[in-house]
Amino acid sequence: MSLRKLAGPLLALITLLVAACQTTTPGSMQGAVEVRSGVIEQITDVQISNTKTRGLGAVVGGALGLGVGSLIGGGTGRDVAMVLGTIGGAVTGNTVQRRNQAPTPGQDIIVRLNNGVLVSVTQEPTNLRVGQKVFIQGQGEEARVTPAQ
C-alpha cells in the first residue's frame, strides 16, 4: 500500500479528530438562551473536575505517531507502521492530556427560582452572596448564575 493510498484514510482520521472537538450541536439555536430568576439560598466551595478535552493531545499525538511510523521500514510495512503510529499516538496523546488536567476551584450555587423550584449550578468562583437576586442563564452544563441588575 503506497502513501498515496493512505492519504485518504489519514485525512479522514484527522477530519474525524477535528470534528470531535466541535462544541455545538447541529441544529441548535445559537444565541438563544433561557433565563430564569431567583434568590441564592446557598453557596458551597467545590473542586470542578476538568475532564473535557479539546482533542489537541490526540491531534498532536497522532501527528507525532505518523512521523515516527514513517521512519520505520519501507513499502507496505512502512505504510502500516504509519497508520498504527497515528492511531497509537492519538490515543496516547489524548490520555496524557486528560491525566494532566487538574481540578479547578468552583462554587455550587443553589438558587430558589421565583416559582419555588430549587436549582443547583456549579461554576467558577464569583462575587455572589446568599440572599442576592440572580439570573440563571442557559441550562445543563452551560448554565451560569449572574447577578440581577
Res 53: pLDDT? 55
Res 79: pLDDT? 82
pTM over 0.75: no
How many whole angstroms separate alpha carbon 42 and alpha carbon 103?
22
The tens digit of pLDDT for each residue in 54-100 reads 677 777 888 888 888 788 877 788 888 888 888 888 888 877 777 66
Radius of gyration of the chain (CA): 23
What would the CATH number be for the domain defined by 33-48+104-149?
2.40.50
Res 82: pLDDT? 82
Domain with CATH 2.40.50 in the chain: 33-48+104-149
The tens digit of pLDDT for each residue in 89-148 reads 888 887 777 766 677 888 999 999 999 889 999 988 989 999 999 999 888 888 889 998
Strands (E), 1-149: 35-48, 104-113, 118-123, 133-137, 144-147
Q: Which residue has the cell 472537538?
A: 21
* 48/123: higher pLDDT: 123
* Confidence at 5, pLDDT banded by 50, 70, 90: low
The pair phi, psi for residue 31, each rounded to 5°, is 95, -25
Judging by DSSP bridges, how do beta strands 118-123 and 104-113 pair with one another?
A: antiparallel
Burial of 109 (0-12, 13-18, 19+ CB in 10 A): buried
Res 78: pLDDT? 81
